[in-house]
Structure 1
Amino acid sequence: MRLHRNLVFAVIDGLIEIFNEGGYADKVIAKQLKRDKRWGSRDRSFIAETTYDIVRWKRLYAEIADVKEPFERKDLWRLFAVWCTLRGIKLPDWPQFEETPTRRIKGRFDELSNTRKFRESVPDWLDELGQQELGDKWDAELAALNKQAPVVLRVNRLKSDIGALQTALAEEGHETENIKPYKDALQLQERANVFTTEAFKNGLFEVQDASSQLVAPYLDVEPGMRVVDTCAGAGGKTLHLAAQMDNKGQLIALDIYGNKLKELKRRARRAGAFNIETRVIDSTKVIKKLHNSADRVLIDAPCTGLGVLSRNPDAKWKLQPDFVEKIQATQQSILKDYSKIVKPGGKMVYATCSILPSENQEQIKKFLKTEEGSDFSIEKQKTVLSSESGYDGFYMCLMVKKDKA
């Protein structure tokens, strides 16, 4: 591989913003990709994938390069030199790479690979927490979460089906494959920006990880029901629910962030999902008005996001130990408040994209012992580990509310 100076500078500039200025990797990379209109898809792939790679392996590379945060610009060039050396990429004769000790880099890599927190590049506290909660499964899970996430699409069954979508994408140059047992999913054979395709613009699909696609079917919805998605965000699962309801019935999407619900409305128009009504949770009245009224309730709860590190590698550096405690308190509060929306005989799914039992099974156990949870019982629950599925880590639990009739 021949390195191009302007592409490498874009990577270095992006890393400064992510590591030193608190920028979110996806937003920073999106901005960097717009720097030069002449860049082709291969150039943009290099910038995105190299930046994500160095973010993912920050701790390991910093240990090898013997640099500490906050990084100076010359430190980031050293991280980049480590990235190149470990991939067998010849360093060009640029001033930034003078006296790069390639043999020492390989030796340090071999040495540090014996220690998990360096080998898998995680903070001490997170390594300890994962070991404490997952035990023997933590090693394999960490390794899986450090792999680049595949691009998975979900067919929008309001407008298409798997076969028709595969054909449409193939005509635009994108080959896909079915992945079992995910009945609505297609996986891209080669990474690409599918948002520019006519198939996407026409609402034939959404980009959604295979594990995330398990959540909406878990809720067991039927056309004509009243369904409430309480933490809808920009609506990935809301749109999946709308398709499963065949656009029949009422689907209420709630969130505390109005801008996310605006994005959901835009996506719903493209998808042809017209049974969705959005409501911003700007006071307790919004929830109270819905008490005991819904056949189905989805709580896709805010969480640490530890199950999706493969697509959000910067999260492990932004997460702090105190956030874990805070988010668990929020999860329990949401469970108690939003469960009141379920009518007697109705069902509720609590889901997270975390792999920690303390955010998942333990939260459900605690909830069932509360006054609000006393009328609920578990129908089924599922933990999806990246190391076993090859996709995001997820948890989902389906509960039934006692019918008082």
Structure 2
Amino acid sequence: MTPAARMQAAIELYEGMNGTQRPSDRVAADYFRQRRYIGAKDRRDITLQCYGALRSHARLDWWIRTCGAEVTPRRQILAWRLLALGESLERLRERLGTGKYAPAAPDGEEMELLQCLSTHTLDHPDQPMDVALEMPEWLMEPLSHALGERLELELTALREAAVVDLRVNTLKAELPQVRTALAEEGIETEPCPWSPLGLRIDGRRPVAATRAFRDGLLEVQDEGSQLVALLADARPGLRVCDFCAGAGGKTLALAAAMENKGQLLACDVLDKRLNRSSVRLRRAGVHNVTRRALSSERDPWLKRHKQSFDRVLVDAPCSGSGTWRRNPEGKWRFSPEDLSELLDLQARILESAARLVKPGGRLVYATCSLLREENEQQVEAFLAKHSEFAVRPVRTLWTELLPTTLPEGQGDYLRLFPAAHGTDGFFAAVLERQEVEG
């Protein structure tokens, strides 16, 4: 494809991303699936343009409006090329309206906009803090409450693309073996700093096309997510419930920790997501998992299995604010009403899942959120009503369960951040049901 054709494809894809509530990565996957003639190099370039615009959404809008124009997806892509890539106006104009597959030539109004933008860069001191940090204005207060003096540092990191982390599947291989196998296919990795099972790739590489992936030696999983699963301490022979299992990422990690010994139950209210996990489970060689679709977080099944599990992991539905490096559109689709509904749902899920934990067993509550409302405040509200549960501090659990050094800043709970730890934002609390005396 010519540069002009790639630009037009980026505009088309970006319009599709803006015209739906579906995740942008799925929109992109469908777009390229329907256009198999687009090669890998062209796909990377087109995707770069779209995600560059997504990560610069607020600043691009600010500049377009500052120049007196209306915001459209096409103009955001063109503005990104001028402001972020530093492309010259002359070079951009050469690619507009110059061929069958090129973007249409600009009209007079759009030409005035491009001329206005061409003398600037993406950042400007007049931009409000929420614009400069690419965050909806209403979220700045709760994020400031959660991050304190680290607000600017962490939100700046959240604007950037995330690294790719892999978890070695210890049911089939050890870390050095996987690292060597990937290197033989041209993918260099480094061990993750905190997870003893983690490998990190610099940049995006076709991991899913490797033999190591096809053979089930590894899974793509952020290091923070790996650590949550490890802190669940799912040992061989235990009875474990992954209460909000989804497509099975943490289920796979729990099964490997259990060495396929014991019972692992994967639950979710979305049976389609559970069904999607079957391929991953087979590839990983997991055979101690039973999947169960729940009608709701209050399914009658819960009452029949009261206090029967050694470990219950609640990877709760949340804002996903800790993952907005990967899903930058999520922040713009998230509203105060969404947060209110999530807080109510999280409290109900935590209440219901706790019923499954046997005396001496542990309940692990986790989110990929940065917000205290979804994290510490949920746990503290639960503990205020349930004196039979007590916190097992992460700072002491870590030395019992993991061979690596405890990340900076950990106390009773696990708190991970993009800038501080190089992971997605994660929270986890380990709560133990006390043994009945007498």
Q: Where on the TM-score scale, by shorter chain, does this alignment land: which range?
A: over 0.9
Q: Secondary structure at the match of 1:136?
A: helix
Residue 21 of structure 1 pairs with residue 34 of structure 2: no
Contact 1:199-1:205 at 8 Å conserved across structures = yes
Match of 2:391 in 1: 378
Aligned equivalents of 1:367, 1:106: Cα separation in 2: 54
Residue 201 of structure 1 pairs with residue 214 of structure 2: yes
Show CA shifts across 1:60-104 (max 9, x none). 101112299xx77xx323212221112123414114354554564
- Of 76, 86, 89, 1:88 maps to 86
Q: Secondary structure at the match of 2:246?
A: coil
Q: Secondary structure at the match of 1:66?
A: helix
Structure 2 unpaired stretches of 5+? 98-104, 394-412
Contact 1:227-1:294 at 8 Å conserved across structures = yes
Contact 2:79-2:114 at 8 Å conserved across structures = no
% identical aligned pairs = 36
- Of 63, 74, 79, 2:76 maps to 79
Change (3 A) 1:248 1:106: farther
Task: Please report how far the alpha carbon of residue 34 of structure 1 lies from its aligned counterpart in structure 2 after TM superposition.
Answer: 2.5
Match of 2:181 in 1: 168
Match of 1:359 in 2: 374
Match of 1:307 in 2: 322
Change (3 A) 1:246 1:108: closer
More off after superposition, 26-35 vs 159-168: 26-35
- Of 235, 239, 242, 2:248 maps to 235
Task: Please report how far the alpha carbon of residue 114 of structure 1 lies from its aligned counterpart in structure 2 after TM superposition.
Answer: 4.5
Residue 343 of structure 1 pairs with residue 341 of structure 2: no
- Of 146, 150, 155, 2:159 maps to 146
More off after superposition, 294-303 vs 53-62: 53-62
Show CA shifts across 1:165-220 (max 9, x none). 11111122211111212211111133122112211111111100111110111112
Residue 388 of structure 1 pairs with residue 420 of structure 2: yes
Aligned equivalents of 1:257, 1:244: Cα separation in 2: 25
Q: Secondary structure at the match of 1:224?
A: coil
Q: Secondary structure at the match of 1:355?
A: coil
Aligned equivalents of 1:182, 1:102: Cα separation in 2: 49
Q: Secondary structure at the match of 1:91?
A: helix
Contact 1:238-1:253 at 8 Å conserved across structures = yes
Q: Secondary structure at the match of 1:392?
A: coil
Q: How many residues align?
A: 399
Residue 269 of structure 1 pairs with residue 282 of structure 2: yes
Structure 1 unpaired stretches of 5+? none
Residue 47 of structure 1 pairs with residue 46 of structure 2: yes
Contact 1:281-1:287 at 8 Å conserved across structures = no
Contact 2:59-2:123 at 8 Å conserved across structures = no
Match of 1:34 in 2: 33
Aligned equivalents of 1:111, 1:181: Cα separation in 2: 37
Contact 2:15-2:74 at 8 Å conserved across structures = no
Aligned equivalents of 1:276, 1:195: Cα separation in 2: 23
Q: Secondary structure at the match of 1:278?
A: strand
Match of 1:403 in 2: 435
Match of 2:269 in 1: 256
Task: Please report how far the alpha carbon of residue 134 of structure 1 lies from its aligned counterpart in structure 2 after TM superposition.
Answer: 2.7
Change (3 A) 1:272 1:168: same
Aligned equivalents of 2:159, 2:246: Cα separation in 1: 26
Contact 1:17-1:23 at 8 Å conserved across structures = no
Aligned equivalents of 1:108, 1:150: Cα separation in 2: 25
More off after superposition, 111-120 vs 51-60: 111-120
Contact 2:153-2:419 at 8 Å conserved across structures = yes
Aligned equivalents of 1:187, 1:113: Cα separation in 2: 37
More off after superposition, 106-115 vs 75-84: 106-115
Aligned equivalents of 1:225, 1:178: Cα separation in 2: 29
Contact 1:112-1:118 at 8 Å conserved across structures = no
Aligned equivalents of 1:112, 1:238: Cα separation in 2: 46
